[in-house]
Copies of this chain bind each other. A is one copy, B any other.
Amino acid sequence: MAVLIDIDDAEDPRLSDYRDLRDVQLRKNLEAEHGLFLAEGEKVVRRALETGFPARSFLMAPRWLDGLADVLATSDAPCYVMPESLAEQVTGFHVHRGALASLERRPLPSVESVLAGARTVVVLEDIVDHTNVGAIFRSAAALGVDAVLLAPRCADPLYRRSVKVAMGAVFTVPYARLEDWYDALPQVSAAGFTTVALTLADDAREIEQAVAGLDRVALVLGSEGHGLSPRWEQSADRRAVIPMREGIDSLNVAAATAVACYLTMRR
Protein backbone atom coordinates (compact mmCIF):
# COMPACT_ATOMS: atom_id res chain seq x y z
CA MET A 1 0.00 0.00 0.00
CA ALA A 2 1.40 3.39 -0.98
CA VAL A 3 2.24 5.60 2.00
CA LEU A 4 0.23 8.84 1.96
CA ILE A 5 2.37 11.89 2.76
CA ASP A 6 0.73 15.28 3.20
CA ILE A 7 2.74 18.07 1.60
CA ASP A 8 2.38 21.77 2.40
CA ASP A 9 5.55 23.20 0.88
CA ALA A 10 6.00 23.50 -2.89
CA GLU A 11 9.77 23.44 -2.38
CA ASP A 12 9.76 20.05 -0.66
CA PRO A 13 12.74 18.20 -2.18
CA ARG A 14 10.77 14.96 -2.43
CA LEU A 15 8.79 16.55 -5.27
CA SER A 16 11.74 16.89 -7.63
CA ASP A 17 10.29 14.44 -10.17
CA TYR A 18 7.35 16.78 -10.72
CA ARG A 19 9.02 20.16 -11.22
CA ASP A 20 8.48 22.50 -14.13
CA LEU A 21 6.55 20.14 -16.34
CA ARG A 22 6.16 22.78 -19.04
CA ASP A 23 9.90 23.17 -19.53
CA VAL A 24 10.53 20.57 -22.25
CA GLN A 25 14.32 20.78 -22.27
CA LEU A 26 14.66 20.63 -18.51
CA ARG A 27 12.28 17.69 -18.35
CA LYS A 28 14.13 15.79 -21.07
CA ASN A 29 17.38 16.05 -19.14
CA LEU A 30 15.82 15.25 -15.78
CA GLU A 31 13.90 12.25 -17.10
CA ALA A 32 16.85 10.80 -18.98
CA GLU A 33 19.18 11.19 -15.98
CA HIS A 34 16.83 9.55 -13.55
CA GLY A 35 15.23 7.03 -15.91
CA LEU A 36 11.74 8.23 -15.13
CA PHE A 37 8.63 9.38 -16.95
CA LEU A 38 5.32 10.88 -15.85
CA ALA A 39 1.76 9.71 -16.29
CA GLU A 40 -1.12 12.15 -15.92
CA GLY A 41 -4.77 11.47 -15.17
CA GLU A 42 -6.46 8.62 -13.35
CA LYS A 43 -6.93 6.44 -16.42
CA VAL A 44 -3.37 6.77 -17.70
CA VAL A 45 -1.83 6.32 -14.23
CA ARG A 46 -3.89 3.16 -13.82
CA ARG A 47 -2.77 1.79 -17.18
CA ALA A 48 0.88 2.49 -16.48
CA LEU A 49 0.75 0.46 -13.28
CA GLU A 50 -1.35 -2.30 -14.82
CA THR A 51 1.13 -2.74 -17.63
CA GLY A 52 3.92 -3.21 -15.11
CA PHE A 53 5.79 0.07 -14.84
CA PRO A 54 7.00 0.44 -11.22
CA ALA A 55 5.95 3.72 -9.59
CA ARG A 56 8.59 5.94 -8.00
CA SER A 57 5.86 8.08 -6.42
CA PHE A 58 2.40 9.57 -6.90
CA LEU A 59 1.24 13.17 -6.55
CA MET A 60 -2.41 14.08 -6.26
CA ALA A 61 -5.07 16.17 -4.60
CA PRO A 62 -7.12 14.44 -1.87
CA ARG A 63 -10.19 14.04 -4.08
CA TRP A 64 -8.36 11.58 -6.37
CA LEU A 65 -7.36 9.17 -3.61
CA ASP A 66 -10.59 7.18 -3.61
CA GLY A 67 -10.70 6.60 -7.35
CA LEU A 68 -7.14 5.31 -7.36
CA ALA A 69 -7.28 3.43 -4.06
CA ASP A 70 -7.02 0.03 -5.76
CA VAL A 71 -3.97 1.16 -7.74
CA LEU A 72 -2.29 2.68 -4.69
CA ALA A 73 -2.89 -0.59 -2.83
CA THR A 74 -0.61 -2.40 -5.27
CA SER A 75 2.39 -0.07 -4.82
CA ASP A 76 4.88 0.67 -2.07
CA ALA A 77 5.79 4.07 -3.51
CA PRO A 78 5.02 7.26 -1.58
CA CYS A 79 1.92 9.22 -2.55
CA TYR A 80 2.31 12.98 -2.05
CA VAL A 81 -1.04 14.56 -1.23
CA MET A 82 -1.59 18.28 -1.59
CA PRO A 83 -4.20 20.86 -2.63
CA GLU A 84 -4.47 21.47 -6.36
CA SER A 85 -3.13 25.02 -5.94
CA LEU A 86 0.09 23.62 -4.46
CA ALA A 87 0.35 20.99 -7.21
CA GLU A 88 0.12 23.81 -9.73
CA GLN A 89 3.00 25.64 -8.04
CA VAL A 90 5.17 22.54 -8.23
CA THR A 91 4.40 21.50 -11.78
CA GLY A 92 3.94 24.93 -13.31
CA PHE A 93 0.56 24.16 -14.83
CA HIS A 94 -2.99 23.38 -13.86
CA VAL A 95 -3.23 19.62 -13.41
CA HIS A 96 -6.62 19.13 -15.05
CA ARG A 97 -6.95 15.48 -14.35
CA GLY A 98 -5.73 15.61 -10.80
CA ALA A 99 -3.42 12.65 -10.45
CA LEU A 100 0.22 12.28 -11.49
CA ALA A 101 2.62 9.40 -11.14
CA SER A 102 6.36 9.23 -11.65
CA LEU A 103 7.32 5.86 -13.09
CA GLU A 104 10.49 3.97 -13.83
CA ARG A 105 11.44 3.46 -17.44
CA ARG A 106 12.37 -0.02 -18.51
CA PRO A 107 15.15 -0.86 -20.95
CA LEU A 108 13.74 -0.72 -24.49
CA PRO A 109 13.65 -4.03 -26.35
CA SER A 110 15.88 -4.52 -29.37
CA VAL A 111 14.68 -3.85 -32.91
CA GLU A 112 15.04 -7.56 -33.66
CA SER A 113 12.89 -8.68 -30.77
CA VAL A 114 10.19 -6.16 -31.60
CA LEU A 115 10.09 -7.30 -35.24
CA ALA A 116 10.06 -11.00 -34.42
CA GLY A 117 6.49 -12.22 -34.71
CA ALA A 118 5.18 -8.87 -35.97
CA ARG A 119 3.27 -8.69 -39.25
CA THR A 120 2.52 -4.97 -39.49
CA VAL A 121 4.73 -2.28 -38.02
CA VAL A 122 5.04 1.50 -38.27
CA VAL A 123 8.46 3.15 -38.65
CA LEU A 124 8.71 6.83 -37.72
CA GLU A 125 11.55 8.97 -38.96
CA ASP A 126 11.93 12.39 -37.30
CA ILE A 127 8.52 13.08 -35.80
CA VAL A 128 9.51 15.73 -33.29
CA ASP A 129 6.08 16.71 -32.00
CA HIS A 130 5.05 14.77 -28.88
CA THR A 131 1.36 15.18 -29.69
CA ASN A 132 1.84 13.54 -33.07
CA VAL A 133 3.86 10.68 -31.59
CA GLY A 134 1.16 10.07 -29.00
CA ALA A 135 -1.63 10.25 -31.59
CA ILE A 136 0.21 7.78 -33.83
CA PHE A 137 0.58 5.28 -30.97
CA ARG A 138 -3.11 5.62 -30.12
CA SER A 139 -4.17 4.90 -33.71
CA ALA A 140 -1.63 2.09 -34.07
CA ALA A 141 -3.01 0.41 -30.95
CA ALA A 142 -6.65 0.84 -31.94
CA LEU A 143 -6.12 -0.46 -35.45
CA GLY A 144 -4.03 -3.45 -34.41
CA VAL A 145 -0.51 -2.54 -35.53
CA ASP A 146 2.00 -4.90 -33.87
CA ALA A 147 4.92 -2.57 -33.13
CA VAL A 148 6.54 0.82 -33.75
CA LEU A 149 10.16 1.59 -34.62
CA LEU A 150 11.62 5.05 -34.00
CA ALA A 151 14.46 6.77 -35.81
CA PRO A 152 17.22 8.15 -33.56
CA ARG A 153 15.76 11.68 -33.65
CA CYS A 154 12.09 10.79 -33.24
CA ALA A 155 10.45 12.24 -30.12
CA ASP A 156 10.13 10.19 -26.93
CA PRO A 157 6.83 8.26 -26.61
CA LEU A 158 7.14 8.40 -22.82
CA TYR A 159 7.26 12.17 -22.65
CA ARG A 160 4.23 13.33 -20.63
CA ARG A 161 2.41 14.89 -23.56
CA SER A 162 2.85 11.78 -25.76
CA VAL A 163 1.64 9.52 -22.97
CA LYS A 164 -1.43 11.67 -22.44
CA VAL A 165 -2.44 11.96 -26.08
CA ALA A 166 -1.85 8.23 -26.59
CA MET A 167 -4.21 7.48 -23.67
CA GLY A 168 -1.58 5.02 -22.48
CA ALA A 169 -1.17 3.20 -25.82
CA VAL A 170 2.59 3.82 -25.47
CA PHE A 171 2.51 1.23 -22.67
CA THR A 172 0.94 -1.51 -24.75
CA VAL A 173 2.34 -1.15 -28.28
CA PRO A 174 5.90 -2.56 -28.30
CA TYR A 175 8.47 -0.15 -29.68
CA ALA A 176 12.21 0.09 -30.18
CA ARG A 177 14.72 2.75 -31.13
CA LEU A 178 16.68 2.31 -34.37
CA GLU A 179 20.35 3.02 -33.78
CA ASP A 180 21.51 3.35 -37.37
CA TRP A 181 19.57 6.04 -39.21
CA TYR A 182 21.22 5.55 -42.60
CA ASP A 183 20.58 1.83 -42.98
CA ALA A 184 17.45 1.62 -40.88
CA LEU A 185 15.09 0.64 -43.70
CA PRO A 186 17.41 -1.93 -45.31
CA GLN A 187 17.69 -3.42 -41.82
CA VAL A 188 13.89 -3.73 -41.61
CA SER A 189 13.73 -5.19 -45.12
CA ALA A 190 16.39 -7.73 -44.18
CA ALA A 191 14.17 -8.81 -41.30
CA GLY A 192 11.54 -9.86 -43.83
CA PHE A 193 9.35 -6.77 -44.18
CA THR A 194 8.38 -4.81 -47.25
CA THR A 195 9.05 -1.19 -46.31
CA VAL A 196 6.39 1.15 -47.73
CA ALA A 197 7.22 4.86 -47.47
CA LEU A 198 4.39 7.41 -47.35
CA THR A 199 5.56 10.20 -49.64
CA LEU A 200 4.55 12.56 -52.42
CA ALA A 201 7.33 11.20 -54.68
CA ASP A 202 6.58 10.88 -58.39
CA ASP A 203 6.82 7.11 -58.39
CA ALA A 204 4.49 6.67 -55.41
CA ARG A 205 1.56 4.33 -55.95
CA GLU A 206 -1.79 4.66 -54.25
CA ILE A 207 -1.45 3.18 -50.80
CA GLU A 208 -4.09 0.48 -51.25
CA GLN A 209 -2.30 -0.85 -54.32
CA ALA A 210 1.11 -0.51 -52.72
CA VAL A 211 0.26 -2.82 -49.81
CA ALA A 212 -2.14 -5.22 -51.57
CA GLY A 213 -1.22 -8.85 -51.03
CA LEU A 214 1.92 -8.17 -49.00
CA ASP A 215 2.76 -10.37 -46.07
CA ARG A 216 4.88 -8.43 -43.58
CA VAL A 217 4.66 -4.65 -44.00
CA ALA A 218 6.53 -1.74 -42.42
CA LEU A 219 4.76 1.58 -43.03
CA VAL A 220 7.30 4.40 -43.00
CA LEU A 221 6.33 7.98 -42.09
CA GLY A 222 8.39 11.15 -41.94
CA SER A 223 8.43 14.44 -40.14
CA GLU A 224 5.63 17.00 -39.92
CA GLY A 225 7.43 19.63 -41.91
CA HIS A 226 9.47 18.08 -44.66
CA GLY A 227 8.31 14.49 -44.83
CA LEU A 228 10.83 11.71 -45.18
CA SER A 229 14.50 12.34 -45.82
CA PRO A 230 15.68 11.54 -49.37
CA ARG A 231 17.69 8.62 -47.94
CA TRP A 232 14.68 6.99 -46.33
CA GLU A 233 12.42 7.76 -49.27
CA GLN A 234 14.84 6.07 -51.64
CA SER A 235 15.89 3.18 -49.41
CA ALA A 236 12.30 2.03 -48.88
CA ASP A 237 11.13 -0.92 -50.98
CA ARG A 238 8.03 0.96 -52.18
CA ARG A 239 6.69 4.48 -52.18
CA ALA A 240 2.99 5.09 -51.55
CA VAL A 241 0.65 8.07 -51.44
CA ILE A 242 -2.75 8.77 -49.92
CA PRO A 243 -4.71 10.38 -52.76
CA MET A 244 -5.61 13.97 -51.89
CA ARG A 245 -7.41 16.90 -53.40
CA GLU A 246 -5.28 19.04 -55.71
CA GLY A 247 -3.60 22.09 -54.24
CA ILE A 248 -4.08 21.10 -50.61
CA ASP A 249 -1.33 20.70 -48.07
CA SER A 250 -0.76 17.16 -46.99
CA LEU A 251 -2.71 15.49 -44.24
CA ASN A 252 -1.36 15.88 -40.74
CA VAL A 253 1.05 12.99 -40.10
CA ALA A 254 -1.17 11.50 -37.40
CA ALA A 255 -4.20 11.52 -39.72
CA ALA A 256 -2.12 10.04 -42.54
CA THR A 257 -0.91 7.30 -40.21
CA ALA A 258 -4.47 6.43 -39.20
CA VAL A 259 -5.58 6.11 -42.82
CA ALA A 260 -2.47 4.16 -43.86
CA CYS A 261 -2.68 1.79 -40.88
CA TYR A 262 -6.34 1.10 -41.51
CA LEU A 263 -5.73 0.24 -45.16
CA THR A 264 -2.63 -1.78 -44.41
CA MET A 265 -4.34 -3.85 -41.72
CA ARG A 266 -7.00 -4.76 -44.29
CA ARG A 267 -4.63 -5.56 -47.16
Point out residues on A near B: beta carbons under 8 Å.
135, 138-139, 141-144, 165, 167, 169, 242, 244-245, 248-252, 254-256, 258-259, 262-263
Contact = CB atoms under 8 A, between A and B. Distances in A.
Contact of A244 (B143, B254, B256): B143
B138 A244 contact: no
B242 A141 contact: no
Contact of A252 (B138, B144, B262): B138
Contact of A255 (B139, B144, B248, B249): B139
Nearest to A263: B262
B141 A248 contact: yes
- What is the total number of copies of this protein in its complex? 2
Interface-centre pick from A143, A165, A263 (highest chain B CB count, 10 A)? A143
Contacts of A138: 249, 251-252, 255
Contacts of A244: 142-144
Nearest to A208: B266
Contacts of A250: 142
Nearest to A242: B262
A135 B252 contact: yes
A250 to B, nearest CB: 7
Nearest to A257: B255
A139 B251 contact: yes
A135 B255 contact: yes
A252 B141 CA distance: 11
Contact of A143 (B135, B249, B251, B262): B251
A259 B208 CA distance: 13
Nearest to A144: B245
Nearest to A166: B252
A144 to B, nearest CB: 4
A254 to B, nearest CB: 7
Can you list the 3 inter-chain pairs with the closest CB atoms, starting with the nearest? A255-B258, A144-B245, A142-B251
